[in-house]
Amino acid sequence: MKIPTIVSIFAACALLGAAPAPAAESGDPVAGKGKTSMCAGCHGIPGYKTVFPDVYHVPKLGGQQAAYIVKALQEYKAGNRPHPTMRAIAAGLTDKDMADLAAYYGSDVSKTAAK
């Protein structure tokens, strides 16, 4: 291979690698609030601890970064996070559901909703 060809291939690969990732679907916090029934049983109880599969403190969702919530739900759905209950819940969520829930829990409204 000639040097100019190698340089061209390298440049093309670098440009493709620099292309922005597709934007995550934006969520609707109002729609997300209507989808929280499956979350509130654990995440809506201050100081709640679960005993299955292990005893641990259930994290508070209100005020979390929306991108973090979406990523966590995607990881549960893909089977990359081990909690069986969360895997089952995430398995039934669409990308839009995840975005809506994340928008709600990431909003200021969710921080005060439990009061």
Percentage of residues of the chain with pLDDT beyond 70:
72
The pLDDT tens digits of the residues spanning 19-59 come to: 433 445 799 999 999 999 999 989 988 889 888 778 888 99
* Residue 54: per-residue pLDDT: 81
Evaluate the omega torsion of the peptide bond into residue 29 and state whether it is cis, within 30 degrees of 0. Answer: no
* Residue 108: per-residue pLDDT: 73
* pLDDT band, residue 111 (cuts 50/70/90): low
Could you tell me if residue 48 is inside a domain?
Answer: yes
- pLDDT of residue 66 exceeding 60, the answer is yes
Range of the domain at 50: 24-113
Could you tell me if residue 9 is inside a domain?
Answer: no
Give the separation between CA 55 and CA 82, rounded to whole angstroms: 14
Task: Collapse the DSSP code of 54 into the 3-class scheme (helix H, G, I; strand E, B; otherwise coil) and give the result.
Answer: coil
Instruction: Give me the number of domains the chain comprises.
Output: 1
Higher pLDDT pick, 6 / 92: 92
99: CATH: 1.10.760.10
Could you tell me if residue 4 is inside a domain?
Answer: no
Q: Which residue do the tokens 């990431």 mark?
A: 106
Could you tell me if residue 88 is inside a domain?
Answer: yes
Percentage of residues of the chain with pLDDT beyond 90:
50
Could you tell me if residue 71 is inside a domain?
Answer: yes
